[in-house]
Amino acid sequence: MRFDSIKTATNRKNKFSAKHQVSFTELYKSNVFDDFAMRDFLSKEAYESVSDSINNGKTINRKMAEHVAAGMKRWALSKGATHYTHWFQPLTGSTAEKHDSFWEPKDGKAVEKFSAGALVQQEPDASSLPNGGLRNTFEARGYTAWDPSSPAFIHENTTGKTLCIPTVFVSYNGEALDYKAPLLKSVNLVNKAATDICKYFLKKVTSCTASLGIEQEYFLVDEAMFNARPDLVMTGRTLLGHAPAKGQQMDDHYFGSIPDRVFNYMYEVEIEAAKLGIPLKTRHNEVAPGQYECAPMFEEVNLAIDHNQLLMDLMDDLAHKHHFRVLFHEKPFAGINGSGKHNNWSLITNTGVNLLSPGNDPNSNLLFLTIFINTIKALHDNADIIRASIASASNDHRLGANEAPPAIISAFIGSKLTEVLNAFLDDETTNDDNDKKSINIDKIPEILRDNTDRNRTSPFAFTGNKFELRAVGSSTNSAQPMTALNTAVANQLILFKTQVDKAVAAGGDQKTVIVSELKKALISAQNILFEGNNYSEEWATEAKKRGLSNIKNTPEALEAYISKQAISTFVNNGIFTKEELHARYEIMLEDYTKKIQIEGRVLGELVYSHILPPAIGYLTTLANNVKSLKDAGLKTGTAQMDLLKSITTHIDAAKQKTDEMVEARKKANSMTSAEKQAISYHYDVKETFDGIRYHVDKLEQIVDDQMWQLPKYRELLFIK
């Protein structure tokens, strides 16, 4: 199968080509029930009701929802849609949908029907999706409810079109069973908290929006070779495989010329994304061979996350069409860079002010300093929660390796803003070195410098007018870390305003009080700031001295969700109940355990059925060769004997360590609690994987290439 897959991949031809010049301006949002479509298909009253809901959070009553449903149905039918679905994001990490047709039989004929009830609310099975004990199997009822702030869209495939309606997913009792419901609560919370702070400085501000841009990294492999690797099919990563002689050490893939076949795939993704209103802006080769990235323009955080989830679905669908498989796993290949989902976050007022923009003079921009310092304080106080929000079995492989930030949560702000904050604490001002703001080279236009450099090793880096949470994994639903970040920042802003208002009520001058409270916040949070190399051992040592956590595995990281700080941050602000937090803790522990369990099963099967048979077969061939030489009276060379010994050693070790791993799985499966089981799978099962891999990878190097069954890294990564 390996050599068949290589032949198939090598002979691929580029099939996709645009039939005519594509106009992205015409395609953009053509399959989205956006503001323009609503104006065309809704009555004035219905349009205003939806707009009021989107802009001001007002509830749409059922009578008006009937008008919206009728207009949405007409629009969808005009686009050729035959079915509709509530599109939601359960705690599986994937999107979910259940399709219903528009038509129903009536009086012997088919009629098209779509009511307010179908638009506003549906009832999927709440017990069959992750619920963390909130629902029993015999209590199956759950609800999906329309989110008007994220526009409906048409999903196209080769045989039909479906109207998709973004929704939240809650239990019969109202507990959140998805990522969107808590996110929307956090969006409203940070909106109010930031707006209240703005009132100190900008009286015309009536709302603040959390803005987000999500950079998406991914790998592409040919589908034939993907199908020849059971580990890729079942786990999304290679559990075995020796590093190729040439990996990423030449730095020639990064920003290199995009291969034609990959370019065609990217181009069709961009076309289909444009129809869905996903504003993709950037495409390029990433650092590792076979790795790529796309990035959109900034959007409101809820819409940005919906678009990212939709984009991942779209990329997966189109990869099949191009005979690729797209890998979103954080570390599909050992020894080269993994993939992340860099979340670029900021706060924007309704008047267009970016609250994280330092301006020309950050020293005197007290509004910027207020938001900036309180964000740093929020990160400091909730670092373990932020770490838990990006924890997963797959992201554990990536954190701290190659280009990914470590498990130690810290913030990078750059030398300029470090200078500004130090001066702020000392009641001084900094000099603005204008001559250092640009770089001049003869015959080249002036190169303007930002106020801060980039630190690619930092988990939370300030990059000019936004914070970049770089630690998010490429397969993660960004709603989880963004809910944590929004809530942490909002909570800190609320606490800050409470202290300021209390001091002002006692007779303090408002500006003086704000400055004083900011200094207190900054002093207490300074340990979280780090400007150096986050990969270094020195930083791990220094971070420990500072009292910063370095939680390297998911089971232990997730404990932050049931901590006192989580109660203070999430429960007291109405984002989660205690029961919802504990349910999420249970769900994520179970998810971790199941993924390691699946990897262990696949790894055992690979060793027993794919690795040992060809290795033993080659060993037998060598032994017969040695015997033939002896029978012929010829001297046996040391090379043959050394090879026999080496293969025997690695076969025995691989078999023994795999047997031990299987026994460790049995032990882990016997654990009585989710916590103990996850910990056992981490320390007793997962920790055995590298030992097995070492001996298998050694066999890959010495067993006859014609006998090796699994496609090798050089084939997976370089044949396009």
> Mean pLDDT for each consecutive 10-residue tract of the chain (720 residues)?
92 70 88 96 94 87 93 96 96 93 85 91 87 83 94 93 97 94 98 97 95 98 97 98 90 89 94 96 94 96 98 96 96 93 97 94 93 98 97 88 74 93 86 59 70 78 94 96 98 98 96 97 97 90 95 95 96 97 96 98 98 96 88 81 95 98 97 95 96 98 96 94
Give 27-69 pLDDT, tens digit per residue: 999 999 999 999 999 999 999 999 999 888 888 888 999 999 9
| The amino acid at 373 | I
Residue 111: its H or E element:
strand 109-112
DSSP 688: G
End-to-end CA distance of the chain: 18
Please name every residue paired with 163 in a beta bridge, in sequence order, or none if there are none: 84, 154
| Domains present along the chain, CATH in parentheses | 31-178 (3.10.20.70), 187-576 (3.30.590.10), 591-718 (1.20.120.1560)
| The amino acid at 330 | E
By C-alpha distance, which of 349, 368, 345 is closest to 358?
Answer: 368
Return the residue matching tokens 């038509």: 103
Backbone angles phi, psi at 25, to 5 degrees: -65, -30
Tokens (6 digits) for 547: 């009292």
Return the residue matching tokens 């150096």: 532
Whole-number pLDDT of residue 339:
94
Report yes or no: 334 and 380 within 8 Å, Cβ to Cβ.
Answer: no
Q: What is the dihedral of CA 697, 698, 702, 708, to 10 degrees?
A: -20
Give 146-164 pLDDT, tens digit per residue: 999 999 999 998 889 999 9
Q: How far apart are CA 607 and CA 600, in angstroms?
A: 11
SS percent in the chain: helix, strand, coil, step 5: 50, 15, 35
Whole-number pLDDT of residue 64:
93
Angle, helix 578-606 to helix 689-702, in steps of 10 degrees: 30
CA angle 48, 50, 53 (to 5 degrees): 110
Whole-number pLDDT of residue 400:
57
Helix (H, G, I), strand (E, B) or coil at 519: helix
By C-alpha distance, which of 447, 450, 463, 467 is closest to 360?
Answer: 450
Sign of CA dihedral 58, 59, 64, 69: positive
Whole-number pLDDT of residue 484:
98
Whole-number pLDDT of residue 109:
82
Largest CA distance in the chain: 106
Entry pTM: 0.95
By C-alpha distance, which of 426, 308, 421 is closest to 375?
Answer: 421
Tokens (6 digits) for 445: 């236009």
Regarding beta strands 341-349 and 467-469, do their DSSP bridges make them parallel or antiparallel, or are they unpaired? antiparallel
Residue 292: count other Cβ atoms within 10 Å of its Cβ. 22
Whole-number pLDDT of residue 434:
46
